Amino acid sequence: MDKYSVKCLQCGEVHDSYSLNCKKDDESLLRAYYASKQLIPTDMPGIWKYYNWLPVTGIIEDGSGRTITYKSENLALAIGLEDLWIAFNGYWPEKDAGMMTCTFKDLESFPTMQRLKELNEERIMVVASAGNTARAFSHVCTITGQPLLLVVPKESAHRLWTTHNDNPSVCLVTVEGDYFDAISLAGKIASREGFVNEGGAKNVARRDGMATVMLDAVLTMNSLPDHYFQAVGSGTGGISAWEASMRLVDDGRFGNTLPKLHLGQSLPCAPLYSLWHDTDAVDAACPDGMYDDVLFNRKPPYVIKGGVKDALDATGGEMYGVSNDEASNSQSLFEKTEGIDINPAAAVAVASLVQAIEKGNVCTEDKIVLNITGGGQKRLMQDHELKQLHVSLAVSAKDEEAENKVIKTVAEKFGV
């Protein structure tokens, strides 16, 4: 019996395990369905602890980390909660947290790369990112040797650091524009011969990799939570938490109620918040002025079948808009009470939780999971030297020759 199958949520058709789209309905996500109906953790390293619920048939043995879930004492006391659990994704050796990129995007990159290996894929993988995803894919591609083209906004280049001494498999291109401009350019290049797109939200490996945050939390708590908090850009992490929760309900051992999703975005650039509340929370200057512009995506998977709207509707969820002051105060509060630095995006999640408490959306005794999607960079710098990735080419989103310039640079980089 196959380990898993991949089906279209709209028409129900079973597709090839490595498919990204339904040929009949492109307005629907595909979803992985696993032969094992119960979550059985393995003794394999990192994310592969959850191998039975990952859409892969092998593992990358080196380099992966996983979520570390623990019960909060000090932050919980400070904000008046009795049953708050932190799902920490980053570097914190004192708690055995070992994500060397300090971002939960590692959870996406390793399963995605493993699937490419299973396909014996030799084409150059193209990844568009506002920073964290690019860092995660750079990390795994350096380990596996898979050639990688990263396309990121110019203003995000500072996030492209590594702990590796050399990254010969990575070509970094910056775009003078925002994340959507990077996505557009990357999409054009990925459609060319010799390149392959990693798939974004449509890739079940990316979603089920992020879903391991919920798996780790539930295994640690031995029950599903009442509420789940996360900051989002595209919202794919929220979709992943919902999909994991449905599998855990079907497991039968952890409860029968889906956790309520609470997803936060950074004002004044909050497209998902705008869509959910039917308001205007996207400034013309976006992503300028954001607390963390990795949370900005102009075209998130909101109305697509199985997308963010479906996840919020199914769980009775809520969207939050967080100001810079709220995020800054929440970041300081978390770092003071929990004793580890966190990424700005994670601070938006903490601020969303504070808002929820103030609005009465959660009760003191509720079981709550707070996803800290990135943290420990300052702690990592105590143990490792961080090296900036070399920019191979800088282009403007308005340059009609940008695509050809990138192709030429990649050919020179990889000798193709």
Question: What is the count of structural domains for the chain?
Answer: 2
Same domain, 257 and 333: yes
Name residue 245's amino acid.
S
Same domain, 356 and 400: no
User: In what order do the strands lie in the sheet containing 195-197?
Assistant: 195-197, 124-128, 148-153, 170-176, 391-396
Residue 216: pLDDT above 90? yes
Same domain, 152 and 186: yes
Same domain, 137 and 232: no
Other CB atoms within a 10 A radius of the CB of residue 27 amount to 11
The per-residue pLDDT for range 168-180, each reduced to its tens digit, is 999 999 999 888 8
Angle at 58 between CA 54 and CA 62, to 5 degrees: 100
Compute the half-sphere exposure of residue 311: CA atoms within 13 Å on the CB side of its CA. Answer: 27
* Mean pLDDT taken over the chain: 95
* E strands in 138-220: 148-153, 161-162, 170-176, 195-197
Same domain, 340 and 220: yes
Strands 124-128 and 97-98: unpaired
Q: How far is CA 265 from the centre of its chain?
A: 14
**For the residues 43-71, what does the mean pLDDT come to?**
97
Q: What is the CA radius of gyration of the chain?
A: 20
Cα separation of 60 and 58, whole Å?
7
377 vs 26: which has the higher pLDDT: 377
Residue 1: pLDDT above 80? no
Q: Kindly report the CATH number assigned to the domain that includes residue 370.
A: 3.40.50.1100
Classify residue 29: in a domain, yes or no: no
Q: What pLDDT score was predicted for residue 287?
A: 86
Same domain, 181 and 133: yes
Cα separation of 17 and 33, whole Å?
10
Concatenate the DSSP letters of all residues of 270-326 into one string.
Answer: -HHHHHHHTS--B-TTTTTT-S-GGG--SS-S-SSBTSHHHHHHHHT-EEEEE-HHH
Q: What pLDDT score was predicted for residue 285?
A: 85
Q: Residues 357, 360, 362, 366: is their CA dihedral positive or negative? A: positive
Q: What pLDDT score was predicted for residue 5?
A: 96
Same domain, 263 and 166: no
Least confident of 138-147, 226-235, 285-294, 400-409: 285-294
Least confident of 213-227, 279-293, 340-354: 279-293
Classify residue 6: in a domain, yes or no: no
Concatenate the DSSP letters of all residues of 214-234 into one string.
Answer: HHHHHHHHTS--SEEEEE-SS
- The parent domain of residue 147 ranges over 124-193+386-414
Confidence band for 298, pLDDT divided at 50, 70 and 90: confident
Classify residue 24: in a domain, yes or no: no
Classify residue 277: in a domain, yes or no: yes
Classify residue 108: in a domain, yes or no: no
Same domain, 159 and 291: no
Residue 332: pLDDT above 70? yes
Same domain, 77 and 218: yes
Classify residue 117: in a domain, yes or no: no
The per-residue pLDDT for range 91-109, each reduced to its tens digit, is 999 999 999 999 999 999 9
Same domain, 373 and 402: no
Query: Percent of the chain beyond pLDDT 70?
Result: 100
Residue 24: pLDDT above 90? no
**For the residues 332-351, what does the mean pLDDT come to?**
98
Only one residue has tokens 């570390």, namely 68
Least confident of 95-104, 150-159, 213-222, 278-287: 278-287
Same domain, 375 and 392: no
Classify residue 76: in a domain, yes or no: yes
Classify residue 35: in a domain, yes or no: no
Same domain, 155 and 278: no
Q: What pLDDT score was predicted for residue 356?
A: 98
